[in-house]
Copies of this chain bind each other. A is one copy, B any other.
């Protein structure tokens, strides 16, 4: 549970930046070399690499080196923690609606 919470923190932090969300979106179209990817984002290479490291450290992307080329791949499964979290909130809202309905039904049934 503590690990799930830390993972959630990390995923939200990693996605709280337009460049990092841009990388996620770009990698959704398929794996890309770091150098091709960097060319699409208007910033220095060290700044861009920092964003990639944040994404990798939080499990949203994976990188692998083959010869002189480092390739980035999206880790879609990691984004599923967001779906799970949103689904959990919806369950809380639905329980609330159910309780309200129960209350209204009880009130009607007990009306004199």
Chain A residues within 8 Å of B, Cβ to Cβ:
5, 8-9, 12-13, 15-18, 21, 24-25, 28-30, 76, 79, 82-83, 85-86, 88-89, 92-93, 95-96
Residue in chain B with minimal CB distance to A80? B86
Given A16-B12, A16-B13: A25 touches B96 (CB 8 Å cut-off):
no
Pairwise interchain contact B93-A86, C-beta atoms closer than 8 A: no
Residue in chain B with minimal CB distance to A22? B5
In Å, the complex CA distance between A107 and B18 comes to 37
Cβ-neighbour of A18 out of B5, B18, B89 (below 8 A) = B5
Residue in chain B with minimal CB distance to A6? B18
In the complex, which residues of chain B have a beta carbon less than 8 angstroms from the beta carbon of A24?
Answer: 89
In Å, the complex CA distance between A13 and B95 comes to 27
Pairwise interchain contact A89-B79, C-beta atoms closer than 8 A: yes
In the complex, which residues of chain B have a beta carbon less than 8 angstroms from the beta carbon of A95?
Answer: 29
In the complex, which residues of chain B have a beta carbon less than 8 angstroms from the beta carbon of A85?
Answer: 21
Report the minimum CB–CB distance from A57 to chain B (whole Å): 14
